[in-house]
Amino acid sequence: MFSQRKVAQLLVRLIEIDPPIWRRLLVPSDWTLAKLHRVLQAAFGWTDAHLHEFHIGGLRYGDPDLLDDGFDGPRVFDYADVRLLDFLGQPDAVFVYVYDFGDNWQHEIRIEAWPEVETAPKQAQCLDGARARPPEDVGGPWSYGDFLEVIRDPEHDDHASNLRWAGGHFDPEWFDLEVINKDLRNAMRSNAARRLHQPKPKKG
- Going by C-beta distance under 8 Å and a sequence separation of 6 or more, which residues neighbour residue 69? none
Identify the weakest region by mean pLDDT among 24-38, 85-99, 130-144: 85-99
Q: How many angstroms separate the CA atoms of 182 and 145, rounded? A: 29
Query: Which pLDDT score is estimated for 120?
Result: 78
| 175-185 tens-digit pLDDT | 999 999 999 99
Q: Measuring CA to CA, how many Å separate 153 from each of 24, 69, 163, 167, 169? A: 32, 43, 11, 17, 14
The pLDDT of residue 117 is 85
> Can you give the pLDDT at residue 192?
74
Cβ atoms of 199 and 57 closer than 8 Å: no
Average pLDDT (117-126) is 89
pLDDT band at 3; cut points 50, 70, 90: very low
Average pLDDT over residues 53-70: 92
pLDDT band at 5 (very low <50, low <70, confident <90, very high): low
DSSP per-residue letters across 69-109: -SSS-S-EEEGGG-BGGGGTTSTT-EEEEEE-TTTTEEEEE
**How buried is residue 165: exposed, middle or buried, by Cβ count under 10 Å (0-12/13-18/19+)?**
middle
pLDDT of res. 1: 38
Whether 4 has a pLDDT exceeding 90, the answer reads: no
**Spatial separation of the C-alpha atoms in residues 104 and 140, rounded to whole Å:** 6
- pLDDT band, residue 73 (cuts 50/70/90): confident
Peptide bond into 199 cis (omega under 30): no
Q: Pick the residue with more confidence: 89 or 106?
A: 106
- The pLDDT, as a whole number, for residue 137 is 95
What percent of the chain is predicted at pLDDT more than 90? 78
- For the segment 139-168, the average pLDDT, to the nearest whole number, is 94
Q: List, in order, residues 6 or more apart from 189 with CB less than 8 Å away.
A: none
Smallest Cα–Cα separation from 163: which of 141, 179, 147, 177?
A: 147
